[in-house]
Structure 1
Amino acid sequence: MPELEEVLPALAAEMADRDDRGEVASYIPQLSIIDPKRFGIAVALTDGRVITAGDADESFSIQSISKIFTLTLALGKVGDGLWRRVGREPSGNPFNSIVQLEREHGIPRNPFINAGAIVVTDVLLADHQPREAIGEILRFVQFLADDESIVVDRDVAASEKATGFRNFALANYMRAFGNLHHAPELALGVYFHHCAIAMNCRQLALSGRFLAHGGRLSQDGHSVVSNERARRILALMLTCGHYDGSGDFAFRVGIPGKSGVGGGILGIVPGIASIAVWSPGLNENGNSKLGSIALEKLARTMNWSIFAP
């Protein structure tokens, strides 16, 4: 099998030469100014090595990738009771769609679309002030990555709040159905801030180690979640992690992954590696175009599909 120390630089060089890079997210002003030529990748292996290439040490807004961490925290607080308020099915619609909420009485399809993540955030607000909930989420991410330098990009958070009209509509709609227990502006304040967490590929790959290790930070390290819960989070990442492009990502790449409109993707190869890739240009589904292509090529080269014999 090829060595990652050779595969990753070659992959980064190939991505640097491509012209079809997608379009950066223009509806969030702070994201629209990011250089679309950036590309970084990091692989945190279960043997403790971290191998990087490209712009792997440049921070970016992780956006919806943060929903992995908020889901993990919410399950720790309320367990399977969460599924009374959020579904576990792929949506088949864009990440900010309001269509299904009316038909399904304010219950979002899954925790990775915006509506579902807002409900998850509402769970984390229980018995907390918004500032405390934001701090809890940030400290959890810092703990997972073993890096206290990770911060919330407050300019991005403010930019999202100023333009987040659809998210306000989603929150108010769910509040009308009784599926949001706090004022929409409070839940959304926390939501915008955790989406604005800034990390680089190295930090992001390290933060996903617990899912590659069956719930532990390392093979014999601290347990973050049970093995069963880690498997269930990975199942949701595979089926719902790329919005209405989740099926195509599973078909082409074959590993659980979660994307964000900042251009990042966190992919997990159970028992082997946590992978973070970043390229700001998005495809028609709002997922990193070159990030998806790079992960497909990496999975094929390393035979890392979970469907491989």
Structure 2
Amino acid sequence: MTPNLQAIVDEIVAAMAAETERGAPARYIPGLAALSTDRFGMAVVTADGATAMGGDAEMPFSIQSISKVFALTMALGKIGDQLWRRVGREPSGNAFNSIVQLEAEHGIPRNPFINAGAIVVADVNLSGHMPRESIGELLRFVRFLADDETIVVDEAIARGEAETGYRNIALANYMRAFGNIHHSVELVLGCYFHQCAIAMSCLQLAMAGRFLMLDGMQPGAGRVISPRRARRINALMLTCGHYDASGDFAFRIGMPGKSGVGGGILAVVPGKASIAVWSPGLNASGNSQLGTLALERLAEATGWSIFRARA
């Protein structure tokens, strides 16, 4: 464990409590709009098994697009590199729910972390299952990674997304028109909305990210994915994990990371740490305002960055 890591986390939590620019919660998803921007949590799990956390680190929140990391891992386990025939691996340069590029690129989403790409991944994971079985499989996988059977889907959030997710419905139908969605749009979106509504705390999320910190190994459980696949998922998180702000996140923080509009961010320092932060207030790019700032401070205080040689 990095010396004084708990003290560093405590200092960051105190600094975030004093911040006046806190962003605004996502207004377009029922259940998220009313969340208080006063909330902030942080948890760090290191490669040697130590844990440091503070603030609201044990309060569950809707992980939203962070779920795309776990869904992608499952899809790659099912069909391997065949996935890349249906989803690209490049940054989009557009908002996470943009439809602009799909027509020019014949219904192939730029990457698996924008909404269109994640909907294709949900279609892959649905193969051979009913929706309830598919989301159950993903939920069991997340519980396994976090070593916590209490993780659940927030059904109220899932219902709210289904009732208001018109843009996602449009994305799915558009890709279906190009033949890149193979199942019923309603069934695929049911899986997608439920995966986004998985509720986890910072501690649970940091625990779940350990396999990406450790080249695909899960402490106490063995290998989850190959080292090569772990590196590739981390690469996608670095280049695409914060949508059109991914470059700025890499520039400022230098860690693979995946954000969600629920205010959470999962960040990975290969060989060093798995980190989760949460604060519902979002910046203009749809990423947690305080979460991003907290990770920047953590990187400065610890020297953690993939652009720095490992000690």
TM-score by length of 2: 0.98
> Taking structure 1 as reference, are residues 94 and 208 closer, same or farther at Cα in structure 2, changes over 3 Å only?
same
Per the alignment, residue 143 of structure 1 pairs with 144
Deviations 1:108-147 (A, max 9, x none): 0000000000000000000100000010000000000000
1:34 and 2:35 correspond: yes
Per the alignment, residue 211 of structure 1 pairs with 212
Per the alignment, residue 262 of structure 1 pairs with 262
Give the superposition deviation at 1:29.
1.6
> 2:163 and 2:5 mapped to 1: Cα distance?
42
Per the alignment, residue 276 of structure 1 pairs with 276
1:305 and 2:293 correspond: no
Letter in structure 2 aligned against 1:97:
S
Letter in structure 1 aligned against 2:7:
E
Give the superposition deviation at 1:50.
1.4
> 2:42 and 2:198 mapped to 1: Cα distance?
18
**What secondary structure does 1:137 align onto?**
helix
Deviations 1:52-106 (A, max 9, x none): 1110011100000000000000000000000000000000000000000011000
Per the alignment, residue 236 of structure 2 pairs with 236
Q: Which moved more, 1:169-178 or 1:2-11?
A: 2-11
> 1:267 and 1:234 mapped to 2: Cα distance?
9
Letter in structure 2 aligned against 1:303:
G
Give the superposition deviation at 1:3.
1.1
Letter in structure 2 aligned against 1:114:
N
Letter in structure 1 aligned against 2:64:
Q
The answer to whether the 8 A contact 1:2-1:302 is kept is: no
> 2:85 and 2:286 mapped to 1: Cα distance?
28
Letter in structure 1 aligned against 2:52:
I
Deviations 1:256-276 (A, max 9, x none): 000000000000000010000
**What secondary structure does 1:265 align onto?**
strand
Per the alignment, residue 92 of structure 2 pairs with 91
Per the alignment, residue 249 of structure 1 pairs with 249
Percent of pairs with identical residues: 66
Letter in structure 2 aligned against 1:223:
R
> 1:5 and 1:103 mapped to 2: Cα distance?
49
Letter in structure 2 aligned against 1:289:
Q
Deviations 1:198-222 (A, max 9, x none): 000000000000000100012x741
> 1:290 and 1:5 mapped to 2: Cα distance?
18
Letter in structure 2 aligned against 1:63:
Q
* Ranges in structure 2 where 5+ consecutive residues have no aligned partner: none
Give the superposition deviation at 1:51.
1.1
> 2:307 and 2:290 mapped to 1: Cα distance?
22
Per the alignment, residue 47 of structure 1 pairs with 48
Flag as ranges the 4+ runs of structure 1 deviating above 2 A.
Answer: none
Deviations 1:10-44 (A, max 9, x none): 10010011110001000002100111110000001
> 2:128 and 2:270 mapped to 1: Cα distance?
35
